[in-house]
Amino acid sequence: MMQGKTVIVTGANSGIGKATAAAIVKLQGRVIMACRDQTRAEEAAQDIRQETGADGRQIMVKQLDLASLRSVRSFCEDIIKEEPQLHALINNAGVYQCPYTKTEDGFEMQFGVNHLGHFLLTHLLMDLLKRSAPSRIVVVSSKLYKHGDINFEDLDSEQFYDKAFAYSRSKLANLLFTCELARRLEGSGVTVNALTPGIVRTNLGRHVHIPVLAKPLFNLISRGLLKSPEEGAQTSVYLASSLDVDGVQGKCFADCKPLELLDKATDQEVASKLWDISEVMDSGWSEGSFQRQATWRSLTA
């Protein structure tokens, strides 16, 4: 089904993203690896070429830093100029439980990368996706969304920051984004669905501290209990390629099967408010923290 199809995979230089890119190439799809670290991405692309026999046209690398709205806009401008069609966008890249840092635009890193960067990316590529319909958007979330909440008074975590909670909130935002986007895309020929990949052996947890003496035991146990990147990528590939989900809209999947979500992940009122605020945040404003809080309050009143 992927022959002649062009697919963008964010964060494709390692882990689930790299495995997703390789699997789509094996299905004869053409993959654009959208990655922050171009050197590592080129190395990953070479690995995929050696594994699959693909040429430079079938698997290519473009620089994309989701922590920079300027980078997102530049990436999309290039894609729109260079690509006549885009059949699938897989929003895979993510930051996991990092120390409190901010994006180039001043947003808390996990919310900025995992939600806002992909929100803007999807928005800017939407016309191309619609012209290429039938096309698909795939959003990689996490079951850890269950531990998150959307606090409209402190989306930037300036009042309180807990790295685990911030990650969960960003993954809940992914699901609410999917919910609202699905409503807006009805009848467009573009579908959007989310997934939770499970616990996978990747470098996503590089910010999680494990005592040196415990690392050998942790690595041994993880190989037995955690999914491989290839296993973790299966649902992403399924949602991007399978005829089984042709026309399916606004659902979440795990292990290639529909997943029932908590009500907070499908709350249409919250999803709509988060959409409106995300549009404002992605507009690239330069106001200070006090003015941002005032803007959010006015939007969510």
Q: What is the pLDDT along the chain (301 residues), one digit of tens a residue?
A: 799 999 999 999 999 999 999 999 999 999 999 999 999 999 999 999 999 999 989 999 999 999 999 999 999 999 999 999 999 999 999 999 999 999 999 999 999 999 999 999 999 999 999 999 999 999 999 999 999 999 999 998 999 999 999 999 999 999 999 999 999 999 999 999 999 999 986 664 444 444 545 445 444 454 556 899 999 999 999 999 999 999 999 999 999 999 999 999 999 999 999 999 999 998 865 444 445 555 555 555 5
Tell me which fold the domain 6-199+230-300 belongs to. Rossmann fold (3.40.50)
Q: Which of 29, 32, 26 is nearest to 2 (CA)?
A: 29
Choice among 96, 145, 167, 238 that is catalytic: 167
Known catalytic residue: 167? yes
